[in-house]
Structure 1
Amino acid sequence: MQRSPWIIWPVLFLALFVTFLLHLVSGPVDVPFGEAIAALFDTSGEGLGTQVIRKVRVPEGLTAVVVGAALGACGVMMQTLFGNPLAGPGVLGVTSGAGLGVALVMLASAGASLPGLSVDALVVAGASCGSFGVLLLILWADRRLQDGVSLLIVGLMVGYFCSALISILEVAAGAEALKGYVLWGMGTFAAVGPDRSPLVFGLLATGCVLAMGTAKPLDAMQLGETYAATMGLQVSRTRTLVVVLTGCLAGVATAFCGPIAFLGLATPHVARGLFGRSDHRFLIPATMLLGSILALLCATVVRSTGPVSALPLNAVTALLGVPVVVWVLIRGRRWMRMG
């Protein structure tokens, strides 16, 4: 059943605002709600709470918003492209490919940089190339197999293969490089500081805007490539655009925040359930908003557990994502008939 978007949109924006405020006041340093709000507008405040809000929690919260939106966009584009409700950066091995790219930079090269390129730039390039390469492989397998279950198996095998290569790199890596990679693998939104935020926000925001532009082509592709072609859509061009977009978005998000791609799998199904339709003009922005909300909730849970015993972010996102995967398996393919 279709629901009025004029009711759902205000609720989603309100939920995003509330979860952002909840993130600001949660953590080992107790900051009253009033002080947290004042810290957003008072640039002269020097108190501990004000500094924590402005220098730690606001950047981390904004990172969660942007990364959650990017991973949500990845998920909905991949599910439509492959016609598979379980397609996502994590399930199809895209995150593993990005992780392998990061491992090659952090472990094999021991963090060495090339002339004119910083280590951060190399990490982003490695993660994007890894995710893009896996996406090309999955796209080729999808054309050859024409079967959703077989495609998922291929994705899992690619993930296992990348994990095996990463394990070999870990054995050969030095102690400091290995420590850095292990910490990266736990996932965090706190690694994007003021020096990195322009690069990360710029890349992900650009990718999200481009993802919004794929709404009409993806609507046509939902009805089959043959029908889309008769409507004048350049199917191969659309596939290439979606592959490049998802590869870059997943690569950048994974490079800086770790393997947290379960957000991209869970949020599209929640969006479909809320709107009761598969119109990508609603689905893509709704998935982005839900991705931001879930990312903020995950970040709040991690921060609330304390600085010493904090839960790994990728574990928290998986705990939210696994029930969604089970729910999709139980429902079967009825999601495709929505709208």
Structure 2
Amino acid sequence: MSKKFKILFLVLLVAIIFASIINLNTGFLNLSFKDFFLNSPNSDIAEIRINRVLVMLLAGISIPTSGFLMQEYFRNPLAGPDILGITSVSSLTVAFYIFFSQDIVLPDFLQNSFLSLSAVAGSLLLMLILLSASKKFQDKSYLIIFGFLVSAFAGAVVSLLQFYAENQNLKNYILWSFGANNMVTRNQIYVLGILVLLGLFFSFKTIKPLIGNSLGSSYAQSLGVNLNRLKMLIIVSSSFLSASVTAFLGPILFIGIVVPHFCRLIYNPAKIWQQWILNMLLGMLIMVFFSIIAEKSHIPINVISSVFGIPVILMMLLKQNKA
């Protein structure tokens, strides 16, 4: 492990801690130390802020990791978690639930649970379809095209549902799509944490084969890399990581593309293990920072991520065009 990586690791870790402390102290009320650790009149508000920081840290781990795996596997710096349609299908299943469950009377906590489960169920269904389709598509580009078609189809169906939806249902869907990190409960964070851990377990299994894959398919096979198994692990890990965040925070776009790009700028892109770790650290820092901006400006975090990501991706395209 190089000295530069150790310095980057420590700098990012310290920045994450400071940003998390600032996030905990951002809001309408100024909280004291006892509000977070002792019973006080503001303990409920303190718990909401702790949940807010925890969910941002988990999202910062999940989305960049998914984007990093996609970019390394497809060898495309513009690949992201939504490239295979996972985010779009999760949004579609949530739309179905919101638009067709208005006649079902459920307690609020059950409604939130079913809303999250619908997103996860949609992504897992697509994961099975992708695993089946990947056996027929040997060329990586065909899998990207398939994912693009799935995303387009899901977007068209969501637009159709919005066109015929009642006003309240449409409002509920739009609010979900904006994301609300203050509304995530501790029990939901436990579920999110389990899904993220599953995704990280499968992503850990992909790192070593990705090192061989980066040298070319033929060379990877000569090293004993099972390319079909690698493809399946990439799909499964990205599905768990993307779906878990989409379920609880809505579709957060562009972060999965931008963070891996920044990590390659600040450290050697050939060091896959270190790049994976840097992606998680920088992702956590950016998501916590976005959460602070969202609390200060009252702008939805998904809007902030898009405003941040679009110009960065545009600069990436212009840079590639010059190269």
Report the secondary structure of 1:214's partner residue.
helix
Residues 321/145 of structure 1: CA separation in 2 closer, same or farther (3 Å cut): same
2:204 to 201, 212, 216: 212
Deviations 1:52-75 (CA, angstroms, capped at 9, x unpaired): 22x211101100000111011100
SS in 1 for 2:181: coil
Paired residues for 1:1-339 under 5 Å: 4-31=4-31, 35=32, 37-40=33-36, 42-44=37-39, 46-48=40-42, 50-53=43-46, 55-90=47-82, 93-110=85-102, 119-120=114-115, 122-129=117-124, 132=127, 143-144=138-139, 146=141, 151=144, 158-305=150-297, 310-332=298-320
The structural deviation recorded for 1:25 is: 1.3
1:62-111 C-alpha deviation (Å, 9 max, x unpaired): 00000111011100001011111000024554322221122223224548
Q: Cα offset for 1:120?
A: 4.3
Alpha-carbon distance change, 138 to 14 in structure 1, aligned in 2, over 3 angstroms: farther
Give the secondary structure class of the aligned counterpart of 2:186: coil
Distance 1:273 1:155 in 2: 28
- Distance, in Å, in 2 between the alignment partners of 1:180 and 1:133 is 29
- Tell me the TM-score normalized by structure 1: 0.83
Say whether the 8 Å CA contact 2:90–2:120 is kept in structure 1.
no
- Tell which deviates more after alignment, 16-25 or 213-222: 213-222
SS of 1:212's partner is: helix
**Cα deviation 1:134-174 (Å, max 9, x = unaligned):** 85699689745749xx95x7755543332211011223334
SS of the residue 1:213 aligns to:
helix
Q: Give aligned-pair identity as a percent.
A: 26
Residue 270 of structure 2 aligns to a residue whose secondary structure is coil
Shift of 1:334: 10
Deviation, structure 1 residue 178: 2.6
Separation in structure 1 between the aligned mates of residue 129 and residue 283 of structure 2, nearest angstrom: 23
Do 2:99 and 2:169's aligned partners in 1 also have CA atoms closer than 8 Å?
yes
How far apart, CA to CA, are the structure 2 residues paired with 1:224 and 1:264? Answer: 24
Contact 1:28-1:303 at 8 Å conserved across structures: no
- C-alpha displacement at 1:277, in angstroms? 2.8
Cα 1:127–1:65 shift into 2, 3 Å = farther
- In the alignment, is the contact (CA less than 8 A) between 1:97 and 1:134 conserved in 2? no
Shift in alpha-carbon separation, 1:143–1:104, aligned structure 2, 3 A: farther
1:317 is aligned with what amino acid? S
- Distance of 1:134 and 1:188 partners within structure 2: 30
Instruction: Name the CA shift for 1:331/1:112 in 2 (closer, same or farther; >3 Å).
Output: farther
CA contact (8 A) 1:92 1:159 kept: yes
Alignment length, in residue pairs? 318
TM-score (norm 2): 0.86
Stretches of structure 2 that go unaligned for 5 or more consecutive residues are none
The one-letter amino acid of 1:22's match is I
Closer, same or farther: CA 92–235 of 1 in aligned 2, 3 Å: closer
Which structure 1 segments of 5+ residues have no match?
A: none
Letter in 2 for 1:17: I
Deviation per residue, 1:97-135 (Å, 9 max, x gap): 22112222322454859xx99614632433423653685
Deviations 1:286-308 (A, max 9, x none): 10111111111111111112xxx
Query: Does the CA-based 8 Å contact 1:110-1:173 persist in structure 2?
Result: no
Decide whether the 8 Å contact of 1:67 with 1:253 is kept in 2.
yes
CA deviations on 1:298-319 (whole Å, 9 max, x unpaired) are 11111112xxxx2121110111
Indicate conservation of the 8 Å contact 1:28/1:304, yes or no: no
How far is the alpha carbon of 1:210 from its aligned partner?
3.1
For 1:47, the aligned partner's letter is P
Change in 2 beyond 3 A, CA 1:315/1:181 = same
Q: Note the aligned Cα RMSD (angstroms).
A: 3.2
Could you tell me whether the CA contact under 8 Å between 1:111 and 1:177 is conserved in 2?
A: no
Q: Is contact 1:92-1:138 (8 Å) kept? A: no
